[in-house]
Structure 1
Amino acid sequence: MGTIVVFENVSLDGVTQDPTGEEGFGRDDWRARLAPGDRAAWAELILDDASRAKALLLGRRSYEFFAARYPHRSGALADRLNGLPKYVVSATLTDPAWNNATVLAGGVVDEVSALREKVDGEIRVYASSHLVHTLMEHDLVDELRLAVFPLVMGAGDRVFDQKGVPDPRTLRLVDTRRVGDGLAHLTYRCVPSGNATATASADRTGRRRG
């Protein structure tokens, strides 16, 4: 059975909107503000994360963003993303052009639940904030990984909001790492609704700090 793992680049105040500066919201690419060593460490983190994924799960807008760029890029990360099976949640997309892409046109909960049964390993969700909100609401996220940039944006869409997560959600911190000198990588395990009082002993066993 597969696990749904959400990976997000996030500012210190929780903003995830337009980290590359290509959508017109942000003034520039967040990575441009990093020291060269931190940027290289972030790139290594992303490649390592993608290398552990068995499939990608994307919303339509995020799919279109990646599909417009990665088929024309080279390098280890592009090779990995281009080669992975990709599943796109969309009621309007009918002919995905990106290699190995499949449209999930039915109900999100049913389609993603079936996908978890189909894929053996980590199903990675990149960007796709609206999809993440739906997955969280229906307890379909197993793990949340945040690459925290040392920036305060002040405004912008956040990884969670009141509409996306109407009720409190319990998460357990299972890993923390420093990435380069300025970034942090946090891994949280999602606790299903109604099971928030479960003990955290199993999580503590594998926790590492760096």
Structure 2
Amino acid sequence: MGKIVISENVSLDGVVQDPTGDEGFRRGGWFDRMADRDRVEWTKVEFDEALATQALLLGRRTYEWFAARWPSRTGAWAERLNALPKYVVSSTLVDPEWNNSTVLDGEVVDAVSKLKEELDGDIVVYASRRLVRTLLEHGLADELRLIVHPVVLGAGERLFGETGPELSLRLVDTRAVGDGLAALTYGIVREAQDAG
């Protein structure tokens, strides 16, 4: 059975909105503030994650962002992402162009549940804010991997919305990434989620 892993870059105050500044959010672009050493170490963490991943699960907008950038890139990380199976949750995307991409049919919860049953290993979700909230709300996510950036934005869409479910998490790993980032890994505790 597959394990859904949510992998996010997040500000210290929990914002995930517009890290690269492409969405027009007035406080966007915060991802690019990291120091050079932090970027090098962040790249290593992300590449290692990609090597251990069996498939990507993405919302449409995130898929389109990645698909516009990664197919033309070279190097081991690009080769890995381009080769991975990619599953897209979308009701509007018909013909995905990035190789090894499949649009999941039907209702999201059913489609993702079926995907978890069919695959073994980590199914990583990058960004995809709305999809992440749906996965958390329906108990489909198994692990959170957060790279915390040392910036407080004070506004913006956060990873956890106010109407989301109560979650109990278990700290699995924590480590410094470069001089300014922190990598936090949490397992989602099912008993507490089911009891709520």
Measured on the aligned residues, the alpha-carbon RMSD in Å equals 1.4
Counterpart amino acid of 1:39? R
Aligned equivalent of 1:10: 10
Aligned equivalent of 2:181: 183
Q: CA deviation at 1:191?
A: 1.6
Q: Which runs of 5+ in 1 are unaligned?
A: 197-210
Counterpart amino acid of 1:185? A
CA distance in 1, matches of 2:34, 2:111: 39
Aligned equivalent of 1:208: none
CA distances 1:6-44 after superposition (whole Å, capped 9, x unpaired):
000000000001111222225564343222111111111
CA distance in 1, matches of 2:123, 2:75: 22
Counterpart amino acid of 1:87? Y
Q: What SS does the corresponding residue of 2:48 show, helix, strand or coil? A: helix
Q: Which runs of 5+ in 2 are unaligned?
A: none
Query: Counterparts of 1:53-132 in structure 2 under 5 Å?
Result: 53-132=53-132
The answer as to whether partners of 2:57 and 2:126 remain within 8 angstroms in 1 is yes
CA distance in 1, matches of 2:74, 2:30: 22
Q: What SS does the corresponding residue of 1:18 show, helix, strand or coil? A: coil
CA distance in 2, matches of 1:112, 1:161: 21
Identity %: 61
Deviates more, 1:32-41 or 1:102-111: 32-41
Q: What SS does the corresponding residue of 1:181 show, helix, strand or coil? A: coil
Output the TM-score relative to the length of structure 1: 0.88
Aligned equivalent of 1:143: 143
Q: CA deviation at 1:174?
A: 1.2
Aligned equivalent of 1:171: 169
Q: What SS does the corresponding residue of 2:71 show, helix, strand or coil? A: helix
Counterpart amino acid of 2:173? D
CA distance in 1, matches of 2:56, 2:142: 15
CA distance in 2, matches of 1:31, 1:79: 23
Q: Stretches of 4+ moved more than 6 A in 1?
A: none
Q: What SS does the corresponding residue of 1:3 show, helix, strand or coil? A: strand
Output the TM-score relative to the length of structure 2: 0.94
The answer as to whether partners of 2:27 and 2:153 remain within 8 angstroms in 1 is no
CA distance in 2, matches of 1:27, 1:91: 29
Q: What SS does the corresponding residue of 1:6 show, helix, strand or coil? A: strand
Counterpart amino acid of 1:49? E
Q: What SS does the corresponding residue of 1:20 show, helix, strand or coil? A: coil
